[in-house]
Structure 1
Amino acid sequence: MDLNTVNRVVSARSRSDLRELGEGSVPLAGGSVLFAEPDPLIHTLVDLQAFGWTPFEITDKGLEVAATATITEVSQLPDDHGWRAHPLFYQCCTALFGSFKVWNVATVGGNICTALPAGPMTSLFSALDAEALIWKADGSDLRIPVSELVTGDTTTSLDSGDVLRSIQVSARSLGSATAYRKIALSAIGRSGAVVIGRLDPVDESFVLTVSAATVRPEQLRFAGLPTASELRTAIEGIDSWFTDAHGAADWRRAVSALLAEEIRVELTEASR
Structure 2
Amino acid sequence: MRSTRGDLRSMDLDIDTVRVARTRADCALRPGEAFLGGGTFLYSEPVRPGVTGLVDLMGLGWEPWSVDGSGLRVAGTCTLAELVAGPGALGAPAGDRSGAPGPYRGLGIVGECVSALSLSAKVARTATVGGNLALGLPAGSMVGLFVALDARAVVWTPDGGSRELPVADLVTGAGRVDLAPGELLREVRVPCLALGARTVFRRASLTPTGRTAAMVTGRALPDGAGSDSAGPGGDGPGRVLLVMTASTPVPHAQLVRAGDHDALDHWIDSVDVAGGWYEDTHGTADWRAAMTRRLAHEALDELGGGA
| TM-score over 0.5 (shorter chain) | yes
The amino acid of 2:85's aligned partner reads: Q
**Cα contact 1:236–1:253 (8 A) shared by 2:** no
User: What is the percentage of aligned positions where both structures have the same residue?
Assistant: 37
CA RMSD of aligned residues (A): 1.6
The amino acid of 2:260's aligned partner reads: T
What corresponds to 1:217 in structure 2? 251
What corresponds to 2:193 in structure 1? 172
CA distance in 2, matches of 1:8, 1:202: 54
Does residue 254 (structure 1) correspond to residue 290 (structure 2)? The answer is: yes
Does residue 47 (structure 1) correspond to residue 68 (structure 2)? The answer is: no
Please give the secondary structure, in 2, of the residue aligned with 1:246.
coil
Please give the secondary structure, in 1, of the residue aligned with 2:19.
strand
1:28-107 to 2 correspondences below 5 Å: 28-39=36-47, 40-77=49-86, 78-79=89-90, 82-107=103-128
**Cα contact 1:177–1:201 (8 A) shared by 2:** no
CA distance in 2, matches of 1:82, 1:174: 7
Please give the secondary structure, in 2, of the residue aligned with 1:116.
coil
Deviation at 1:169, TM superposition (A): 0.3
What corresponds to 2:4 in structure 1? none
- The runs of 5 or more residues in structure 1 that have no matched partner are none
Deviations 1:81-118 (A, max 9, x none): 62121211111011011111111100000001011100
Deviation at 1:201, TM superposition (A): 3.0
TM-score, length of structure 2 as denominator length: 0.84
- The runs of 5 or more residues in structure 2 that have no matched partner are 1-9, 95-101, 225-237
CA distance in 2, matches of 1:2, 1:52: 24
**Cα contact 1:2–1:38 (8 A) shared by 2:** no
Deviation at 1:266, TM superposition (A): 1.1
Bigger Cα displacement from structure 2, 252-261 vs 226-235: 226-235
Deviations 1:106-143 (A, max 9, x none): 00000010111000111111111100000011221100
The amino acid of 1:220's aligned partner reads: Q
The amino acid of 1:64's aligned partner reads: R
CA distance in 2, matches of 1:210, 1:107: 22
Structure 1 residue runs of 4 or more that deviate by more than 4 Å after TM superposition: none
Does residue 153 (structure 1) correspond to residue 174 (structure 2)? The answer is: yes
Bigger Cα displacement from structure 2, 198-207 vs 237-246: 198-207
1:111-150 to 2 correspondences below 5 Å: 111-150=132-171
The amino acid of 2:136's aligned partner reads: A
Deviation at 1:75, TM superposition (A): 1.4
Does residue 11 (structure 1) correspond to residue 20 (structure 2)? The answer is: yes
TM-score, length of structure 1 as denominator length: 0.94
Deviation at 1:41, TM superposition (A): 2.6
